[in-house]
Chain A
C-alpha cells in the first residue's frame, strides 16, 4: 500500500515536470515497455486532473498543475475536459436524485378512492407536476453546478488575495522595524553630537594616524606609534599600510589591558593609492585608553578564515 502511494507520488511529480532527469528517463522506459505501468501513469493523471476539476487540490497543488497544463494547448484541453466532465456528472447525478424523489411519491393509492372521470384528470396532474419538477430540477442542478464552479474560483481568488495581504503585512512590519532601528540610531547619533557640542569643542573631525603593517609584524621595530587625541575628538582614523596585500579583506581588533576585545572591525576592504595598498579603520575615541593600546591585524581569506598578521602597540595621549 505504502509502496503504491510512493509510486503514485513519483508519477505525480513526473506529470508535474518535477522529477530529476535520471528518474524521469527510468520511469519513461518503464511505462513504454510495460502496459500496467503505463495504465498506472494514466490513472494517476486522470485522478490528478479530476481532483483539480472538483477543486479538491490545495492552492499550491493547483498552481503546480496549472503551470504544467495551462501552458500547453494539448494538455490544457485535458484539463478543460476534466472540468466539463465534473460539471456534467454533477448535473446528471442531481437530476437523477430529483427524479427519484418524484417517483417515490405513490399516487396510485390515493387515486383508487376517487370517481373514474376525476381519476383520469388527476392522473395527468402528477405527470405534469413530475415534468415541471424534472425540468426545474435539471435547471436548478445546472445552475447549482455552475455556481459551485464560480464559488470555487472565487474561493481560490480569495485565498490568493489573503496570501498577498499577509505577505504585504509582513513586509510592512519588517519595514517598520527597520524604520524604528534607523530612528534609534539617528537619535543616538544626535545625542552624541549634542554631547560633543556641550564639551565646548566643535572639533569632531577624526584624528589621523598612519601605521605600516611592519609595525604589526615586528612590534617595537619601528618604535611605538603615538596618537594624540584632542578634546572632543570622537573618532581616530588609522591608515594601515599593506606592503603585501594578499587578502580580500582585513580585521582590526583593539585589545583592552585585561586582554579582552575592546573593539573589533571586520570586512575592511583594501584600497590603493600612489603610496601603495592600505586599509582605513575608524576607532571610536572613547574606546582608546590613555597610554598603551594594543591593535591586532588579521587578513581574512575568501572562505572567511582569519589569519593573524600581528599586533602593534599604539600609545594614546589624551589632551
Chain B
C-alpha cells in the first residue's frame, strides 16, 4: 500500500548522516538516543492518526530523509523536530497521492459476508493471549494496570487520583506508566497472535535498514 519506495529512499542512509542527526538532537549520545526514540514514537502516532496503514515505515522514512537533509548541509531554521515535522507532512502527502493508496468508500465496495465464527475465535484467542501476557508482568505492573483500567466514569477518575497519590506520583506520570505497560501488553498480544496465525494482521513491507541507537527497544 503506502510503503515509500521513492528513489530518495533507495539511497542508503550512511552512519555519518545518522550520527549528525543524533548530534543535532543532543550533544550527549545517550540522551540523543532517547530523544531519537521519542521522536520516532511521536512520528509513528502522527502517521497513525493521519490514517496511514504502515506508520512505522513512514516514520523511519521521515527520519532517514531528515538525517540526509542534515548531512547534505540543509539549514535548520528552528530545530530538528520542526524539520522532521516538515518532512513528515511531505512524506504523508507523497504517499497519500499514490494511486495504490486510494481509499474506497463503503458504497464502492462489494459486500462480502464476514466470517463471524472466525472473528469470535480471534477475539477469544486475543483475550486468552492477553491474560497470559498480563500474568507474565511483574506484580506491581499487573496491579497498576488492573487498578488503572478497573473502574468507569467518576469512580475511574477518583480511583486514578487515589492510585497516583498511593504511588506518590502525578496523574500524568501515572498515565505514562500505565501507557508503557499497556503498550507492552499490546505488543505481547500481537507477538503471540502472530506466532499462532503465522503472520501479523497488518502485512508490512520490509523495514528500511537505518542504523538505530542502542538497537531495537521493543
Contacts and interface: CB of A to CB of B under 8 A. Distances in A.
Interface residues of B, number: 42
B134 A88 contact: yes
B13 interface: no
Contact of A80 (B38, B85, B126): B126
Contacts of B127: 84, 87-88
A88 B131 contact: yes
A39 B175 contact: yes
A28 B46 contact: yes
A77 B182 CA distance: 13
Given A28-B85, A33-B82, A77-B190, A56 B152 contact: yes
B37 interface: no
B43 interface: yes
B130 A85 contact: yes
Contacts of A80: 123, 126
Interface residues of A, number: 41
B51 interface: yes
A89 B123 contact: no
Given A32-B42, A92-B146, A81 B48 contact: no
B87 to A, nearest CB: 11
B197 to A, nearest CB: 13
Contacts of A45: 49
Contacts of B55: 74
Given A74-B54, A83-B123, A31 B42 contact: yes
Interface string A84-101: 111111011100000000
A88 B130 contact: yes
A54 B127 CA distance: 15
Contact of B130 (A33, A35, A36, A84): A84
A32 B39 CA distance: 8
